[in-house]
């Protein structure tokens, strides 16, 4: 299928060639990895599974990209012009995106580039800055680099993952380099300060040579002999068999060219410092040249990832938020709450539909594991039973004329309903697998861990229940039932005690997980009101701590002002 897309895209003159390959490969890799990890993540355990959390682990090449930006190809959708090797090989005449990245991450938008000038000055600072400051800066650099390796340095990171509080909540070890970037320019600045204030400039000549040899030497080796360390291949390259040789050559050229660029900038920076140490330049010129080099270094790379093509006019920007006819049609429905599945867009990688509707799709980097399981196992397989229990009232689908059309789903279960058939399942795998084909309006699947909640209950589905008030942090329902019933609420169950509190007539009650992801509750006979309210204890505790801390700071500040005034009262008094 992918090759068919290739031939089709290749014939279009103005399309961003290979963009479709990047998106397809990215989604395929993530989906594959998440499904594998989910096999062992069915039970709520307060954190992520190791394999899932470590997907975005840096490799050695990704660390080198902190000072050689495209040593592993840049980004998974790197912009290339028509003069590039790959463009000439495939006959592309317009700028296009290509999967040039071949590092250890599943995919990436670009490198974590600190700037080769900043990195060179950091290394230089290790030799010239005195005192303990440089050592803790070096320690932070080493620790964060090692943590960013994730699964590629398992003996360290698995130890922290299993024992360091909250560490298993994060799923992208590579992102820790955003912390590293804060400390690199600190030591770089201290290095410049050290040589400016010193009267003995000759003592810095040898450290300058050593720093140049270290960082410049690495850059030169990659430039000249990069093929000895990299094979320029990436998982999923079999999808590009027709152009693979050209793609690998493109990656090799980018890696070598980037290494040469870093080497040239290192030599320019080192040469400028050398001239200053030899008293050929004054301090102002030194600072000016280094500043220009540093800005040029970062600007030239950054504009490739945030350039003119990424900015649009105000009119174009506003047009992105204009409702389509399909959106307007759905918005005519004034019901309190329902959900929309938009398959006319990249459903689980775009959040644009959420601007108008409560959607089944969308994207967020911090996902609920259980909902991702439902996506992988059922929604992606077009399981209407699951879509119905999620109250998917409308489906937006692409029409033959290119305009998105609306389909009403008559099977949507609604916001809440009673069931007459409770089935207990032994484990979470059985719980999610049971959803393959069932009638959500009559049957509910309950994990054995909640069996005491439904013990002795024989619901008959008699009565009525409905949503009466909806807000993001409070949901209210009313029901009338002649006997005890079991209600299923089409809202995501969020842990046993992580914030959502349930009430019947204002009194706290227990609610449980139903159908792997929804909320369920045993309700007594009669006319009653049910409410769910989001009241996380951590929030209110934090609010009290914040208030106390603010008051304490104000009191300390007030005392400091009073004490200063008391001590200086005589000086402030006018002379007689």
Q: Does any domain span residue 228?
A: yes
The predicted model gives 12-21 an average pLDDT of 38
**Domain of residue 480, CATH code:** 2.60.40
Q: What distance in Å separates the CA atoms of residue 490 and residue 515, rounded to the nearest whole number?
A: 10
Query: 547: domain range?
Result: 539-572
Which range, 3-12, 46-55, 343-352, 507-516, has the best average confidence (pLDDT)?
A: 507-516
Strands lying side by side in the sheet with 404-408: 339-342, 392-398, 404-408
Note the pLDDT tens digit of each residue in 314-353: 888 888 889 999 999 999 999 999 999 999 988 888 888 8
- DSSP run (H or E) holding 179: helix 177-197
Report the domain count for the chain: 4
Residue 85 has pLDDT above 80, yes or no: yes
Q: Are residues 383 and 455 in the same domain?
A: no
Examine the domain organization and report whether 362 and 484 are in the same domain. Answer: no
**10 Å Cβ neighbour count for 291?**
12
Q: What is the token pair recorded at 561?
A: 């002002």
Q: Domain end: 352, 382, 408, which one? A: 408
Q: Is residue 316 part of a domain?
A: no
Q: Which long-range contacts (CB under 8 A, 24 or more apart) does 238-247 make?
A: 239/2, 239/21, 239/24, 239/25, 240/6, 240/21, 240/99, 241/3, 242/3, 242/6, 243/6, 243/86, 243/89, 243/90, 246/85, 246/86, 246/89, 246/90, 247/86, 247/98, 247/99, 247/100
Residue 207 in any domain: the answer is yes
One domain for residues 146 and 224: yes
Task: Classify residue 501 as exposed, middle or buried by CB count within 10 Å of its CB (0-12, 13-18, 19+).
Answer: middle
Which residues, other chains included, contact 11 with Cβ-Cβ below 8 Å and sequence gap of 6+? none
Q: Are 392 and 415 in contact (CB under 8 A)?
A: no
86 in a structural domain = no
Tell me the per-residue pLDDT of 34-84, one tens digit each, with 9 for 90 and over: 333 343 333 444 577 888 889 999 999 999 999 999 999 999 999 998 899
Could you tell me how far CA 532 lies from the centroid of its own chain? 29
Tell me the sheet residues that pair with 530: 477, 504
User: What is the arithmetic mean of pLDDT over 391-407?
Assistant: 87
Q: Residue 28: what pLDDT?
A: 40
Let me know: does 140 contact 25? Beta carbons within 8 Å: no
Q: Hunting for tokens 């489906």 — which residue is that?
A: 395
Residue 125 in contact with residue 190, Cβ under 8 Å? yes
Q: Which residues contact 266 (CB under 8 A, 6 or more apart)?
A: 116, 120, 212, 215, 216, 219
Whether residue 484 sits in one domain with residue 503: yes
Do 192 and 301 belong together in one domain? yes
Residue 179 pLDDT > 50, yes or no?
Answer: yes
- pLDDT surpassing 90 at residue 258: yes
Q: Which of 484, 463, 528 is nearest to 502 (CA)?
A: 528
Q: What are phi and psi of 469, to 5 degrees?
A: -150, 135
Same domain, 402 and 296: no
SS3 307: coil
Mean pLDDT of 417-436: 95
The overall pTM is greater than 0.75:
no
Q: Which residue is it, tokens 């601007």?
A: 355
Same domain membership, residue 568 and residue 478: no
User: Does residue 502 contact residue 520 with C-beta atoms inside 8 Å?
Assistant: no
Residue with tokens 């190809």: 73
């Amino acid at each position: 299928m992918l090759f068919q897309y290739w031939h089709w895209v290749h014939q279009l003159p103005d399309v961003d060639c290979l963009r479709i390959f990047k998106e397809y490969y990215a989604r395929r890799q993530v989906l594959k990895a998440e499904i594998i990890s989910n096999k062992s993540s069915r039970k709520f355990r307060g954190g992520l599974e190791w394999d899932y959390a470590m997907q975005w682990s840096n490799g050695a090449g990704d660390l080198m990209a902190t000072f050689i930006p495209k040593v592993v190809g840049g980004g998974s959708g790197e912009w290339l012009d028509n003069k590039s090797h790959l463009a000439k090989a495939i006959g592309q005449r317009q700028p296009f995106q290509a999967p040039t990245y071949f590092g250890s991450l599943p995919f990436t938008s670009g490198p974590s580039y600190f700037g080769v000038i900043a990195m060179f000055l950091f290394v230089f600072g290790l030799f010239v800055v005195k005192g303990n400051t440089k050592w803790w800066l070096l320690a932070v650099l080493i620790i964060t680099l090692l943590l960013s390796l994730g699964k590629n340095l398992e003996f360290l990171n698995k130890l922290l993952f299993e024992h360091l509080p909250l560490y298993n909540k994060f799923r992208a070890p590579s992102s820790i380099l955003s912390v590293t970037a804060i400390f690199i320019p600190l030591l770089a600045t201290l290095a410049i300060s050290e040589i400016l204030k010193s009267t003995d400039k000759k003592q810095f000549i040898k450290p300058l040579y050593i720093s140049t040899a270290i960082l410049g030497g690495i850059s030169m080796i990659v430039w000249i002999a990069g093929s000895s360390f990299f094979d320029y291949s990436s998982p999923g390259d079999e999808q590009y068999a027709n152009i693979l040789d050209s793609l690998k050559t493109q990656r090799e050229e980018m890696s070598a060219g980037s290494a040469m660029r870093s080497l040239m900038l290192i030599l320019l920076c080192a040469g400028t410092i050398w001239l200053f140490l030899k008293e050929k330049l004054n301090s102002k010129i030194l600072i000016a040249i280094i500043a220009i080099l540093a800005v040029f270094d970062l600007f030239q790379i950054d504009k490739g990832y945030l350039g003119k093509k990424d900015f649009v006019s105000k009119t174009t920007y506003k047009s992105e938020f204009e409702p389509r006819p399909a959106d307007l049609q759905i918005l005519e429905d004034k019901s309190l709450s329902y959900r929309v599945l938009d398959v006319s867009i990249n459903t689980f990688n775009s959040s644009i539909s959420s601007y108008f509707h409560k959607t089944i799709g969308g994207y967020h980097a911090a996902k609920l594991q259980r909902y991702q399981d439902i996506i992988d196992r059922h929604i992606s397989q077009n399981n209407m039973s699951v879509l119905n229990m999620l109250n998917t009232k409308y489906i937006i689908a692409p029409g033959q004329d290119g305009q998105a059309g609306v389909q009403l789903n008559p099977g949507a279960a609604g916001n809440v309903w009673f069931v007459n058939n409770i089935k207990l399942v032994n484990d979470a795998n059985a719980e999610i697998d049971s959803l393959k084909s069932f009638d959500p309006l009559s049957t509910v699947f309950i994990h054995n861990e909640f069996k005491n909640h439904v013990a002795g209950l024989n619901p008959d589905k008699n009565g009525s229940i409905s949503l009466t008030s909806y807000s993001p942090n409070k949901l209210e329902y009313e029901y009338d039932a002649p006997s005890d019933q079991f209600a299923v609420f089409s809202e995501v169950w969020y842990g046993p005690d992580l914030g959502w509190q349930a009430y019947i007539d204002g009194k706290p009650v227990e609610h449980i997980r139903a159908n792997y992801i929804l909320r369920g509750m045993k309700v007594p006979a009669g006319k009653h009101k049910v409410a769910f309210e989001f009241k996380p204890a951590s929030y209110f505790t934090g609010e009290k701590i914040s208030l106390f801390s603010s008051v304490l700071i104000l009191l300390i500040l007030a005392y400091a002002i009073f004490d200063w005034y008391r001590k200086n009262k005589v000086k402030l008094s006018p002379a007689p």
